[in-house]
Each structure stands twice: as structure tokens, then as C-alpha cells.
Structure 1
Amino acid sequence: MTAPNPADGHNDPLLWLEEIEGDKAVAWVEAQNARTDGFLCDDSYKRDFDAVMKILDADDRIPFVGKSGDYLYNFWKDAAHPRGLWRRTTLESYKTDTPEWDVLLDIDALNKAEGISWAFAGAARSPDKTRALISLSFNGTDAIEVREFDIPSKSFVADGFIIPKAKTQVSWVDQDTLLLGSAQTPEDSTEAGYTRTVRKWTRGMPLAAAETVFEVEKQDVAAWFGVNRRPSHEGVMYWRALDFTRSHIFVERKHGPHAGKRLRLELPEEISVSAEANDLLVSPKQDWTVGDQTIPTGALAVIDLDRFLSGARDFEIVFMPSPTRALQSWAETRHGIMLEILDNVRGRLALLQRSEAGWRETTLPGLPDNATISAQNFGGEDDPDLGTDMLFTVTGFDRPTTTALWTGQGAPEPLKSSPPNFDPEGIEVQQRHAVATDGTRIPYFLIGKNLSAGAPPRPTILYGYGGFEISLTPAYMGIAGKLWLEQGHLYAIANIRGGGEFGPAWHLASRKITKHVAHDDFATVARDLAASGITTAQKLACHGGSNGGLLVGNMLTRYPELFGAIWCSVPLLDMARYTKLLAGASWIAEYGDPEIPDEWVYLQKYSPYHLAAAGQNYPPIFITTNRTDDRVHPGHARKMAAKLEELGYPVWFNETVAGGHSGAVDNTKQAQSQALGFAFLRRTIGTA
């Protein structure tokens, strides 16, 4: 007898809630939203909402920019322009207190003219910088419509390139040619819903006639590509993404001994790469023995790309990780390779420079502790010798974000500073460690007033993620600082396994059959917080979103005794059907496949929707989702809330109808989400 397939929903009485626009499902959502509003939308909620809007709409926020050609481009939202303005200025003007902005596209005006709720999803300038490919998302979906835009006339090109709504990647090859991958039809799409073909589209040709130049299998996650237009280094790199972590990588160069050939790079399937100019830079996710050496997990190695394609394997290892020091990313510049490093979850920048004596690493001095420090190339994409300028961004829990320009010589030049959003008086940041059952030290940050002075147990939020090698690093707590820390409450962030805080091995320790390790680590931190006396289980809440929603869903069903409340945002909760819902199939490498019996054995052990049962002592939970989220299906949140309600547990639910997975297409929606969440915490673990 064949065992029933857990993914087919045959025994799920709440399957109807997966019908995103179904009449019955929408009526249920509206009733739940009204119930939640009635419970949470008091005067304190309104004050919080107004406070968040003031922060989000502030005129003195940093207008973050990217440089392309002679201009700095920015996308800006405020009270008068809730959907935002795409605009540009010069570096000289940007350095002033009041830059002169040239508005190129007003999204609110576009929406009014077309009667569609577009959200800006990016713009890619053409090689000569006179045109752009504008990506427009409907209310924040991952699927986008792409239109060609004429920058001098500030108008869409009537007979220009247009790509209908789909999950799309597109890039200019030259002024009249695009490469694009677009999941327009089932034939163009993988089972995960991403594009399986890359096509070359020449101006004047119908999109349907565009030549397919690369394709992958239906069961693969996607076909990705990257176009390098740097003079004398032009080429294309293609990725056959086998799953979320494994890829076959191909390169096709325009110059050199291998010009015109598409060659697969003989690399491990789990690896990060770049090749902006002459060098191939690689960082393997697991130890890689190549030639007569082993490149360790998380190290960075360099070799001349043409030599590698010709068979050379004499890599130079230029960065070695340590148990507490991990490479997060790197950028190629004319001055050398700029490394973003986490040193015990503290941001560092280091410059690698080649010399006759070998590679030398220099740490950039004068940067703060307990901060996240990032570096990105600032222009230079048209420079055959790589660019010179970099934009540094520094942010910390109690440190408003700053940016600076570094030209490779001397100290960085300060550019912009964010205003303080909350009173920092008495705020302290401590890094603590909890010890997991296997002896691993799990770091976490604790932020709040007068931590060193001692105080009675206080309401505390514990935030976590624990997946996909994503690191949780210090960032300015503008909203949480105003709504939570100013009240004397505490906030903790757990750097549990599954993330990337200590390199790929930290991620691999919590994947598929060991995914529960991230959840167990989080519970370990919760116990440590209570044992320290700074809080109690009744005053401790946890919060997480997306994969972090799965995390806190497991706190409800596996560790309910550790928490007084749970805030669960845009969550993944039904691990039997997640592969059938939207982009879920792309995450099988992270979680496992419920249609494989041996994998369902462990998946069901951390599937909150299936673990929820009667007769438990569950704390109150607030579950949020978004109807236009086309990444994590809103059915996860809907079904979990409905099941908990049927079982008689204290559950509150909110679903917005715009915002996509991030929920941030306009500041009003973001303020609503934050104010509702903190209102829930006040009523459960706070002082309301």
C-alpha cells in the first residue's frame, strides 16, 4: 500500500485558505483583521503609528544612492510621495545639505495616470546612460513588468522594450540588445516558478522571437546570468541553479584566448564567485581540494581567469577564516579586493593588495565596534582597470547610520548621517553567549537601558532568523528604539546556527535534517535570558519573519513554556505543502522534500502547522502576512491562525493587501505593521 503524499493536502481541512482571492478565504481574512484591529488599535497604537510615520517620512533621512556614469541615483518616499520618486543628482550637489534633485519618474503620478498600484522595483541604465529598464511591481510582488525609459525626456519609450509581468531578470548587452530570463509561460518556468531560459532580445524583434541562448531543466531552481560590460573584459556568466545552494557556472568571454566559447567553470557546486576583470575569485562553501592544495570552507582564493580556463589550478589563498572570523562578501577595485568581514559578529573592512612579496591584508582603521560596516563600488563600471571609489555604510544598534566616500587614498570622506530617531540616554549594547546542549557557544546581542546597573526583570523581545546563510548583524534600531527601548524595555538578537555569522559551516550546521538545531539554539538563548534575571518567560516575546516565522512558529509548538508572546511575520509554517506554494520548491535544499518519505520524517518534526495540538499551554501569538506576497504563500499564516483559533488558543491575525514579502511598498503599510506588532507586545508582555 502506497503511503499518502503529505504534500497533496488530502487531509487538510483548511486547504481553502490557500485560495488567495477566494471569496470564503477573503471573508475570513476581513473578519480576522477587524477582530485584530478592535483588540490592538487603541490610542497607544495610534501614537506608535504616528511616531513610525514621522521616522519613515523624515526629510533629513539619508537619501541612499548608487553611482552610474556622472550621476547619483536615488529612490525616495515621503508623505507627499508615498510610492516614491526616482531621481538623480551630481556628487557635488549630493555633498551639500540640500542637494538639487532631478526627478525622473514619479510613481504616484504614474499610478494615478494608469489606475494601477505600481511599486518601484529598480532601474538599470543602458550602456550610454540615456535609457533605463524600469522594473515595476504590482503592490510589491516579486513579479515585475519591465519598461524601457528615456532619461533625457523622462518618459517611457513608446516602441521600446517591454517585458510583461513575470519573475524576470534583465540586463543590457548593448544599447539595442538585452539578455533576459522571464518566467512568462509554463515552458519558460521551472517548478519553483523562476525562469528556466535566458534569451537574447534585439531591438525591433518581437519578444516571442528572442533567441534562447541558455536553458536549464524544469526541476532546477532557475537560470541566472550576469553581464559584464567593462571595456576589454566583456562577457556573460551563466548559472544553472540546481537548487538554492548548488550551481553549475559557465562563462563566455568576448576577449582573450577563449573568446566566443561558453565554458563551464570546473568548480564545486556550492561556491561564491566573481570575475570583474582578469581574476577569478572563489570562496567555497565546503573544503575544496584542487591541484595540490585544499581551499578551506569560507576562504577566498584567486587565480587568473584565462589561466584557469586553460587548465591552471594554482590558486592563491588570500583570506583564511578562523572560528570567529568569517568573510561576508568582497568587492573588486583598482586598489585591491575589499573584504567585508565579520569578527565575532562585528563588522570589519580589510583591503587585500597584491605585491611582489604576495598578498597583504590591511584592516581599515577608525571604524566602530558593535557595528555593521559595508562597502560597495561607487561607479567605475565603465573602467577597464576597475573602479577607484567606494561607498562605506556604517550602522549600529544605537548608532545612526552614516555613509562615507573612500577613493583609496587617506581617510574616508563623510557624506551623510541619519538623524537620531530615539533617545540613546542610558542605552547599552552587550554581546553575550548561551551554551547549546552540544557545547556550542551561541552569541546574542542584548540592547537596552542601563544593562550594567541591574534591574527587575523587564519585557524583552528576542529576534532571530537562522537560515540560508543570512547573518543578523547590528543595525540602527530607529523604530524599535522609539517604540520599545525608550520605554526601558530590552531587545535581543540571536546569532543562531543556520545563518552566516561564522561562515558556511555555521549555515550547514542547521540545514535539512539538522534544521531543528537553529530552533534549539534560539530556545537556548531564551533560557539564558531568563536565567540571567533580566527577564522572565512571561515577559519574554520572540519575533521572526519568513524563515524566522518558521523559527518562532516552532517556539510556539516546541518551546511554549519559554515565552509570554510570539510575533510571527510572513511565515513559512506548513512544511508538508510549502514546495507546492509559490517559490517554495526553491528552498528544498534548505529544508528537504516532504514528498520523499525519509525527509518527511524529519520535516514534520519542525512543521508548526502539523505540530499544533490541543491541550497545550501556548502563549498568545500574532501572525501577519500579505496578500500580494508571491514568495511565501499567505496560506501558511492563514491556516495556522485558523487552526489555532479552532483549538481555542489566543491567536491574532492581520493580512495587508499590498506590500509583497517585504511589506514595505509604502511607509503607511510599514508603520501599520510595526505599530500593530508593538501594540500586541504591550498587551501581552508589556505594560498596557
Structure 2
Amino acid sequence: MSATAATPIAYPPTERADTVEMIFGEEIADPYRWLEADVRSDAKVAKWVAEQNAVTEAYLETLPGRDWFKARIAERMDYERFGLPHRYGSRYFYTRNTGLQNQSPLFVQDGLDGPRRALLDPNGWAKDAATALSDWQPSPDGSKLLYSVQDGGTDWRILKVLDVESGEDTGDEIRWAKFTGLSWVGEEGFLYSRFPEPEEGQDFQALNYSQAIYYHALGTPQSEDRMVFSTPDFPERGHYATVSDDGRWAFVTSSTGTDSRNELQVIDLSQAEQSGWALRPLVTGFDNEWTPIDTVGSVLYLKTNTDAPTYRLVKVDLAADVPVFETVVEARAEPIDSASIVGDKLVVSYLKDAASRAEVFALDGTPVRQIDLGGLGTVSGFGGRPGDPETFYAFSSFNQPTAIYRLDLASGESTPFAIPKLALDPAKYDVGQVFYPSKDGTKIPMFIVKRKDVTAPAPTLLYGYGGFDVSLTPGFSATRMAWIDAGGVFALANIRGGGEYGKAWHDAGRLANKQNVFDDFVAAGEWLKANGVTTKDGLAIEGGSNGGLLVGAVLNQRPDLVDAARAAVGVMDMLRFDRWTAGRYWVDDYGYPSKEADFKVLRSYSPYHNIRSGIDYPATLVTTADTDDRVVPGHSFKYTAALQAADAGDEPHLIRIETRAGHGSGKPTDKAIAEGADVLSFLAYWTGLKVPPTGGD
């Protein structure tokens, strides 16, 4: 090891306040609460950030593998990448990145064989390329494009409209949209969701309450937009609008948090003006999930977990006075991941042990055929409309970059639309799956990926999430591939709290069951060491957001197991998470800090509150960003300050704070490459992964 990198670090001094609260009979110290202030407006916090970044950068410069990883990640990312095509009218719309462009431009072409032309290129929107094209939706005939702009990684969106033929903006602009759909109503307007404008200076910290759905008519100012639906008596409810592909029906989905449960109302758009946009309740009560798929005439197809923890598909006639739901596709052992109507068929994707499989059904639920995906991986897409002859889907795996295919619904034949041309031979990598026992005996699936010529134990990077019904499935990552190319092993544990096996799997890892998540992850690390996958001192762990919480909790509970860690944009203060931006939604998974029973559970594992002095913690790199308004950076700031102040050993405990970036989406390619190189070189150094590697290509 480099003598410089192994030398204990002198951290910048962090002021410690005497903030103490009595909560349910317990004194809770919060000495770094001042770090919750917005770094963009608080000079004291900004100074702390600058000092921490300076120390971290000086340290990262000493790491021998940094340049190699930076070059390797760029190499693995440098290939032509396409997004899924969407057809509207005669036009096909899709994103395309030549390889290392910071943002992916949006293209349009007339017909499958027509010439493509760039429609939007976000690379010129900001000097630092940190302003991104977020979502986009063509109008039904493809003549206009509604799109959203994301600046600096924030969750806030600016909505704009483009004339596709001329390429010129129409001048329509919507502010304060967030967590919104983009739903055209004919060709002359659209529905969207927004929050009230925050008080000055609170854009990135204020709690998100009182979301409402508005209708915007093209050519009018936002101030004239019509409020279609809101619940002022229930400001905690969020509302999301979609429109059926035939343009006849609008659906308003209302929820109270992150759980898969919602109310559903319908608007007959053919009568909207006469009825005053009247909403008719279709499902009341927040008991289960009811997700509209699409309509065929007056018949609506939905995905629901009502009496079906792994989901089933149902239909209901919207013309009936009393809605009666009829099962179309029964629930199976494998959860339904997504469903769509294309042509006169239902296309349904399932999860089988956290990998995708897909099947086509007739509209009455009769099985038609399996779709051959060609291997263990993840499928997405299958968009389209009733009557369409085709759909497009994407397939990827750990060792296969995303490829786009066109599926002919009549013949069932899949043909390539865009196959990546990357100098990578999938056959040189092993992609396997094991099932290991957790502390309580529950079998947990885990993917293990490595080069085939790596036969001895090797430093291993273990990744996990475990929350919010989110399923982790195989997918290509240039950064992970760089770790594997260096001779390391990558492992992905499908721990409880996710959605890999439906509702029961999620429930087993949330609220009072949250400790199962940490036990599952610890058991994965123990299995990797006991079975000779990783070396004795070669286990690195990584997770982001809820996964950052996972890393923080595991470091507190089992610092002896872990040899290096990266906690990204983590939820680290479990007693105050519900006080900022979208944090209030997370009570569905975490519980309420204001309720004594929940508080006791949260207090037991909160990363910030359970750091132990006198214990050697492994080398830890915390990463966050100044514009993260999903998990505000104060979580990571406070956690890092507490870890640095503790008697936690001589290994580095650093924080890397990105500027003009957020929770992850919209990050420019150059920032992603730089961050990936910093993280991997840090983890490689402290797990003994030799860079540059021997073997491989």
C-alpha cells in the first residue's frame, strides 16, 4: 500500500453543538444539526463542504488505481446507446448517445427506415452539462413534444412544449412540477402534477405537501391553468394523472406514501367540458394497488395486488353504473413486474428469482406465447397502444449492454432494432446465482459476476438496497464492469424489503421488520467469505439512498465483517428523515419518528445515532451532492461528521460532495465517470484489488 494513502487523515474540524432533545424519555444528542442547513445558502455549511472536499480530493489523488479506473469506465461506456423507440403518428422517437456524450439527445425519424434527425440536444443547455432532458411525451399524432427539464439533479421539473416539424419551442412553460406524469389531452393541452411554489430559499428542503393536478391549454400562461383535482383537506396525498391511449379517459391515482396502495378515479374526457372535469370514483380506500394499464373501448385493464400479493390483471367496464372487476390473468408465484396492451394482446413481464421473463396473452387472459429473452437478465419496455402491430423492448444483463428489439405481435418474431457495438465478449464472464441462508434461515438470492479466469478468492463488491418494494435485477453498468475487469467479483444480494417476491418479501423488510434487511446483507457478506468467493480482507459493500442507510446500519452493527464501504446519498438520520422534501412519504417503509413504537425501532438502527466509539470502522467513503432534494445532503453531512469525531480507528472516513448534481438522475457522463473512478479506486485500495490488473482483456 502507498504510505501516503495509508497515513491517518487529519480531518477538518467540525463544530459540535450541545443540541439535545428528550424524545419518549430518552435524551437524543444531535450535535451536528447545523449541517442540515442548505449548502447553497448557508455560508457555514458551504465552508464545511469545501474543507471536506479538499481533504477527500487530496486523499483520492494518492490512490494508484484512480486513473486506470477512470479510463476503463470511459472505455466500457463508449458505445452507441439507444433508448426505447415510441411511435406516434408516423414518427418514431428515441434517445441516442454516441458514447461519451454527457446527456443523451432525443431523435425523431419518419417510419422505421426513415432518416433520423436530432430533435433536442440537452448537451448545450448548460456549460457544465448538468441540465438534463428528463421525461418526454409526444402528442398523439406526433406533431408536438411535451418534455421536462431537470437542472442540476433536482427533483423539480420545468415542462416545455416543442413543435416537432420546426424544432421550435412553443413558448409554453410550467414551473414547480414534481413527481408528475406527462399526459396529453388531445393535441391542445396536457395534464400534469405540481406543488405550490415553495417559500423563497426553501426550494430544496421544504416538505412536499398539497400536490394537485392541473390542465394546461397550449398557448396560455401557467397562471390560467385549470386545477382539475386536489385534496386540500388531505395535503399529504399525492396525485398522478394518466390518459388512455385512445384519449377518451383520464385516470387520477392518489396515494399517501410509497406503499403500493391507492385510490383511483376516472374522468370521461369526451364529457370533460360539459361536466366540469367531473371525477368518478372507481376504487376508494388506500388498501391496495390499482394501476391502470389501458382501455379497449370502455373496458379498462388494471394491475392490482388485491387478494394477490404477487399481482393479477383485472378488467372493468367503465360504462357500467357499478364497477365490477373481473380477473383476466391470475396471480402466480412469480410477481408481475409490468403489463401493457399492444395490438390485441397483453404483454406481461414477470420476475423469476429477480430476473425477467415475459409472456403474451390474449385480452381474455389466454396464454399465447413466451418471449425468448435469450438469457438471465432484465427486460423493459413493451410500450404501445391497442391496435399497434409492434412493440419494442430492451434487454440487458450484467455482461450485456442494453439491446433494443422490435417484437411483431402477430408473428411473435423479435428482430434487432439497436444492438450495442461494444468491444466486450459476454462469454468471458460468469454470471451466476446462489441462494444463501439469512440469520433466521430465510433463503436469499444473490447474483455473482466475475471474469471466468478469476478462479481464486478475489476482492468482492457487495451491493444491496432492501426497501420500498424495489427489485434489483441484472443490468449492465460500466462502473461495475470496470471492477470486474480489474479482477474483482461483483455480488448483488436480493435482500428482503424489495419486491423480488411480491408483497410478503417487501413486508418482511420494513417497519418493525427492518432488521431483517441488515441481517440479510450481513449474511451475504459472511457467505462470500466463508465460501471462498472473496478474500479474508477483501469485502467492500455499497448501497445508495435506502441502500446508503443499509451500508450505514451494517457498518455500525458489523464493522468487523466489512473491509471498505461506500454509502451513497443515504438516509442516515432516521429520527428526522420526515422533515424534508419527499421524506414524509417514506413513513410507509420506515414508520413515524413521532410514534413511540416506531421511534424505538428507528432509534435502534439509525446510522447517525449508533456510531460506536472505540471500535475500528473500515475505510468508508460517503458520497452525496449539493442539489439532492430527495435525500437532502444533511443526512450524509451529519453522519460523516459523527464518524470522523468518533474514536473509530485510523482508516479513512471521508465524504465526497458533488456540485450541481442531485440524487442520481440527470448526472452528466463526465461526472459519473469521475465519481465511479474515485469510488472504485478507494474500494480497490482498501480491499487489496491490484490495479492495473493481470489477466482479462
Q: TM-score range by the shorter chain?
A: 0.7 to 0.9
What CA deviation, in whole Å up to 9, does each residue of 1:157-180 have, x standing for no partner? 2xx321124426343323333323
1:305-454 counterparts in 2 under 5 A?
A: 305-306=317-318, 309-311=320-322, 313=324, 315-322=326-333, 325-354=334-363, 359-378=365-384, 380=385, 385-408=386-409, 409-420=411-422, 422=424, 424=426, 426-450=428-452, 454=455
1:271 — aligned with what? 289
Distance verdict in 2 for CA 1:503–1:168, change over 3 Å: closer
Decide whether the 8 Å contact of 1:348 with 1:363 is kept in 2. Answer: no
Q: Is the partner of 1:469 in helix, strand or coil?
A: coil
Distance 1:271 1:588 in 2: 17
8 Å CA contact retained: 2:467, 2:509: yes
Matching of residue 501 in structure 1 with residue 500 in structure 2 = yes
Matches within 5 A, 1:24-423: 24-41=44-61, 42=63, 44-58=65-79, 60-62=80-82, 64-77=84-97, 81-93=101-113, 100-111=115-126, 118-157=131-170, 160-167=171-178, 169=180, 170-185=182-197, 192-193=207-208, 196-203=211-218, 205-217=220-232, 220-228=235-243, 230-231=245-246, 234-245=248-259, 246-254=261-269, 262-266=279-283, 269-278=287-296, 279-285=299-305, 288=306, 295-306=307-318, 309-311=320-322, 313=324, 315-322=326-333, 325-354=334-363, 359-378=365-384, 380=385, 385-408=386-409, 409-420=411-422, 422=424
Specify which of 660, 664, 681 is matched with residue 662 of structure 1.
Answer: 664
Alpha-carbon contact 2:499-2:505 (below 8 Å) kept: yes
1:106 counterpart letter in structure 2: D
Shift of residue 467, structure 1, vs aligned partner: 0.9
Do 2:103 and 2:132's aligned partners in 1 also have CA atoms closer than 8 Å? yes
Counterpart secondary structure, 1:560: coil
1:655 offset after TM fit, Å? 0.7
CA contact (8 A) 1:181 1:195 kept: no
Distance 1:615 1:536 in 2: 26
Counterpart position of 1:97: none
Cα drift, residue 652 of structure 1? 1.4
Return the offset for 1:221.
Answer: 4.1
Displacement of 1:346: 2.6
Which residue type is aligned with residue 263 of structure 1? R
Deviation at 1:110, TM superposition (A): 3.7
Does residue 671 (structure 1) correspond to residue 673 (structure 2)? The answer is yes
Q: Give the SS at the match of 2:366.
A: strand
Q: What is the CA-CA distance between 1:548 and the residue it aligns to? A: 0.7
Q: Distance in 1 between matches of 2:129 and 2:618?
A: 41
Give the superposition deviation at 1:117.
Answer: 5.3
1:556 to partner: Cα distance: 0.6
| Deviation digits for residues 35-70 of structure 1 (CA, Å, limit 9, x no counterpart) | 222222345312321232333343x33454333332
Give the alignment's TM-score, normalised by structure 1: 0.88
* Alignment partners' CA distance in 2, 1:646 and 1:466: 29
The whole-number CA distance in structure 1 between the counterparts of 2:110 and 2:359 is: 29
**Residues 631-687 of structure 1: per-residue CA shift (max 9 Å, x gap):** 110111111111111114330110111222115421101001110110111110033
Q: Which amino acid aligns with 2:337?
A: Q
TM-score scaled by structure 2? 0.87
Alpha-carbon distance, 1:315 to partner: 1.7
Q: Deviations over 1:400-447 (max 9, x none)?
A: 332210121142111221234545464212211111233211110111
CA distance, structure 2, for counterparts of residue 362 and residue 102 of structure 1: 37
Contact 1:422–1:478, Cα closer than 8 Å, also in 2 = no
Q: CA deviation at 1:611?
A: 0.7
8 A Cα contact 2:344 2:363, kept in partner: no
What is the CA deviation profile of residues 284-338 of structure 1, one whole-angstrom value per residue up to 9, with x for unaligned ones?
Answer: 43xx4xxxxxx3322313233226x53353622513221xx22111111223211
How far apart in 1 are the matches of 2:537 and 2:340? 46
Matched position secondary structure for 2:31: coil
Aligned residue type for 2:403: T
Aligned partner of residue 161 in structure 1, secondary structure: strand
How far did 1:464 drift?
0.6
1:154 is aligned with what amino acid?
A: G
Higher mean C-alpha deviation, range 511-520 or range 116-125: 116-125
Given the alignment of the two structures, is residue 555 of structure 1 paired with residue 554 of structure 2, yes or no? yes
Q: Check the 8 A contact 1:221/1:242 in 2, yes or no.
A: yes
Task: From the superposition, tell whether residues 32 and 219 of structure 1 become closer, same or farther in structure 2 (CA, over 3 Å).
Answer: farther
SS in structure 2 of the partner of residue 243 of structure 1: coil
Unaligned runs of 5+ in 2: 1-19, 691-697
- The answer to whether the 8 A contact 1:565-1:620 is kept is yes
**Paired position in structure 1 for 2:544:** 545
The structure-2 alpha-carbon separation of the partners of 1:299 and 1:561, relative to structure 1 and needing over 3 Å to count, comes to same
Aligned AA for 1:570? V
Distance 1:591 1:146, change over 3 A: same
Separation (CA, whole Å) in 1 of partners of 2:616 and 2:547: 22
- Distance in 2, matches of 1:34 and 1:264, equals 56
Shift in Å, 1:398: 1.9
CA offset at residue 494 of structure 1?
A: 0.3
Secondary structure of the equivalent of 1:573?
A: coil
CA distance in 1, matches of 2:423, 2:209: 39
Contact kept? 1:298, 1:503, Cα under 8 Å: yes
Amino acid paired to 1:462: L
The alpha-carbon distance between structure 1 residues 62 and 146, as it changes in their structure 2 partners (threshold 3 A), is: closer
Shift in alpha-carbon separation, 1:57–1:90, aligned structure 2, 3 A: farther
Q: Is the 8 A contact 1:537 1:564 kept in 2?
A: no
Residue 534 of structure 2 corresponds to which residue in structure 1? Answer: 535
CA RMSD of aligned residues (A): 3.1
Task: Give the corresponding residue for 1:617.
Answer: 616
Residue 92 of structure 1 aligns with an amino acid whose one-letter code is: L
Find 1:18's aligned residue among 14, 36, 61: 36
Q: Tell me whether 1:599 sits opposite 2:619 in the alignment.
A: no
Find the aligned partners of 2:633 and 2:314 in 1 and give their Cα distance. Answer: 44
Q: Is the 8 A contact 1:664 1:670 kept in 2?
A: no
Q: For residues 9 and 393 of structure 1, what CA distance do their matches in structure 2 show?
A: 52
